[in-house]
Amino acid sequence: MARKDVASMFAVALFIGAFAAVPTSVQSIGVCYGVIGNNLPSRSDVVQLYRSKGINGMRIYFADGQALSALRNSGIGLILDIGNDQLANIAASTSNAASWVQNNVRPYYPAVNIKYIAAGNEVQGGATQSIVPAMRNLNAALSAAGLGAIKVSTSIRFDAVANSFPPSAGVFAQSYMTDVARLLASTGAPLLANVYPYFAYRDNPRDISLNYATFQPGTSVRDQNNGLTYTSLFDAMVDAVYAALEKAGAPGVKVVISESGWPSAGGFAASADNARTYNQGLINHVGGGTPKKREALETYIFAMFNENQKTGDATERSFGLFNPDKSPAYNIQF
């Protein structure tokens, strides 16, 4: 998930209040399904839990055959990551991409509703040069297999955007993202973006209020460049991504929020109350889009379960909406 160094760009605002009803305009609220734990339910039990809660989207982080099999005829829309360990191989040749599609897509689609394939998640450093070749090769392989309805993208960390306050100043920090954006524009695929107000707030609580970061009401922030007013940090971050796409020559590319969430334990401001407030606020909010794009924003919450074998900060093990025994970590209405 997106981490670190996203805090410097946003000014203060405030927000408190009751949860709104879930908007009927939300077409897809998904939840990311990570499996870095030794006590998680079976794949089939997980799919049943999604269905019982009315969760109609899922993201998985590698081509997990057991999960894909369990998803057959479930109707759940899927983001299927290739896995960062596959990026260079798929970028290397169209035949490698074709093999991956034959092994991991053709046996399951359309019984599994694969919507997007993510060529990398938060790719960093020199590996970013493999993103566009991998995307091109996957597009060619899907087209050759008659599976061109599946869109290929990549999932970016928020720090792929620089100058993100005010939102209208957003621009991609590195040139490879211009190539990504233009490729997406040519194929009609969205940009997948991991957007975490939690990390921005954690790293800069002096200048960002908790209420602004968790969809709670209060003072608004005005973008002096375009006159738009922001009452949530999430909207400001998403609109910075849209601004960066415009500057890259891809104003028509949509954004899909491929991860967003708040930890319930393990660190600063990580509590069940804050996690509930943020995630319920996110569900209630995204049907109306952002100030810049007033249309439903397809969004995937991170994550389905608390994963006890994740490394890094203690918060990394506490982003789950559910405990491994399938009990809710806190109450959420989808």
Which of 302, 299, 306 is closest to 322 using CA atoms? 306
Q: Give strand pairing partners of 58.
A: 31, 78
Here the tokens at position 306 are 């608390």
Instruction: Give 72-91 pLDDT, tens digit per residue.
Output: 999 999 999 999 999 999 99
Alpha helix locations (H) across the chain? Answer: 43-52, 65-70, 87-92, 94-104, 131-144, 176-187, 197-203, 210-213, 233-247, 272-285
Is residue 80 within 8 A of residue 279, CB to CB? The reply is no
Instruction: Give 164-210 pLDDT, tens digit per residue.
Output: 999 999 999 999 999 999 999 999 999 999 999 999 999 999 999 99
Q: How far apart are CA 237 and CA 267, in angstroms?
A: 22
Handedness of CA 259, 204, 241, 123 (dihedral sign): negative
CATH of the domain at 109: 3.20.20.80
Residue 3, pLDDT > 60, answer: no
- The range of the structural domain enclosing residue 256 comes to 30-322
Is residue 59 within 8 A of residue 39, CB to CB? The reply is no
- Whether residue 3 is contained in a domain is answered as no
Is residue 173 within 8 A of residue 124, CB to CB? The reply is no
Q: Give the confidence band of 148 by pLDDT, cuts at 50, 70, 90.
A: very high
- Whether residue 95 is contained in a domain is answered as yes
- Whether residue 114 is contained in a domain is answered as yes
Q: Is 71 exposed, middle or buried (0-12, 13-18, 19+ CB in 10 A)?
A: buried
- The number of folded domains in the chain is 1
Is residue 264 within 8 A of residue 272, CB to CB? The reply is yes
Catalytic pick among 122, 298, 307, 316: 122
- Whether residue 22 is contained in a domain is answered as no
- Whether residue 299 is contained in a domain is answered as yes
Which of 261, 264, 282, 209 is closest to 16 using CA atoms? 209
Catalytic status, residue 295: no
- Whether residue 327 is contained in a domain is answered as no
Instruction: Give 20-77 pLDDT, tens digit per residue.
Output: 333 334 457 999 999 999 999 999 999 999 999 999 999 999 999 999 999 999 999 9
- Whether residue 147 is contained in a domain is answered as yes
The owner of tokens 């900060």 is 313
Catalytic pick among 246, 259, 298, 307: 259
| Polymer length in residues for the chain | 334
Based on C-alpha coordinates, what's the Rg of the chain?
A: 19
Instruction: Give 222-234 pLDDT, tens digit per residue.
Output: 999 999 999 999 9
Is residue 137 within 8 A of residue 100, CB to CB? The reply is no
Q: Give the confidence band of 143 by pLDDT, cuts at 50, 70, 90.
A: very high
Here the tokens at position 83 are 């896995």
State phi, psi for 231 to the nearest 5 degrees: -115, 5
- Whether residue 332 is contained in a domain is answered as no
Instruction: Give 234-277 pLDDT, tens digit per residue.
Output: 999 999 999 999 999 999 999 999 999 999 999 999 999 999 99
Predicted TM-score of the model (pTM):
0.92
User: Quick check: helix, strand or coil at residue 312?
Assistant: coil
